[in-house]
Amino acid sequence: MNSHMVSAQTSAANARKSPRQARSVNTVEAIFEATIQVLISDGPGDLTTTRVAERAGVSVGSLYQYFPNKQALFHAVNERYLTMLAERVEAACLDHRGARYAEMADALVSTYIEVKIERRDVTIALYRAAAEVDVAEIVEAMSQRIEAASQAMFATASDAKFANLSTVNVMMLNVLCGTVRNIFERDMSELLIDGGLRTQLTLMFCTYLDAAKFPPSEA
């Protein structure tokens, strides 16, 4: 059985019980937050359902009503975070349809970075956890949503049309996601705090988009 099949089966089993009542929602919120805290304090290798339950102030039995094992916790926390990220980027892209492409580039870059630094501890914890559990399926779903949203936005630019927009869009997003992850993993906080990363990535995107305009800019 390949890893994608295992991932799909694990993802399908993430939540045994859907939290509908207020008390259940609060329990799941506590479990999510406790999972993040244990990831931060102990690391993904030492995370156990017992430690998470203790940190959340619930019984292990209560935790198992929603998540059957720690892999399910990893998947659920990642899925929740990445879904929120995709939703925020989609909203920003929708809001900037019809704008100038430089404004679009800045909106895409700044929204992505803002989500990542709002809970920097969560971002770092989930990057570390990704090495322990296969979350490729969840990441791919998020990536497809962001790619669709940003491509649809750039296609409506008021000041340019782009050749090979699909390829240009994917290249920019790969640079964005990879660079931001590298900055977090290397703890280069100064680039996140002073806006240097946003400025440089926006400049890079605008330069690339300018070169991809149709017809191309004259030298």
Give the residue ranges of the chain where pLDDT is below 70. Answer: 1-23, 216-219
Please report the pLDDT score of residue 214 as a whole number.
Answer: 85
Please report the pLDDT score of residue 194 as a whole number.
Answer: 74
Per-residue burial over 86-117, b if 16 or more Cβ lie within 10 Å, else e, is bebbbebbeebeebebbbbbbbbbbbbbebbe
Q: Are residues 201 and 175 in contact, defined by beta-carbon separation less than 8 angstroms?
A: yes
Please report the pLDDT score of residue 3 as a whole number.
Answer: 41
Other beta carbons less than 10 A from residue 29's beta carbon: 12
Please report the pLDDT score of residue 22 as a whole number.
Answer: 57
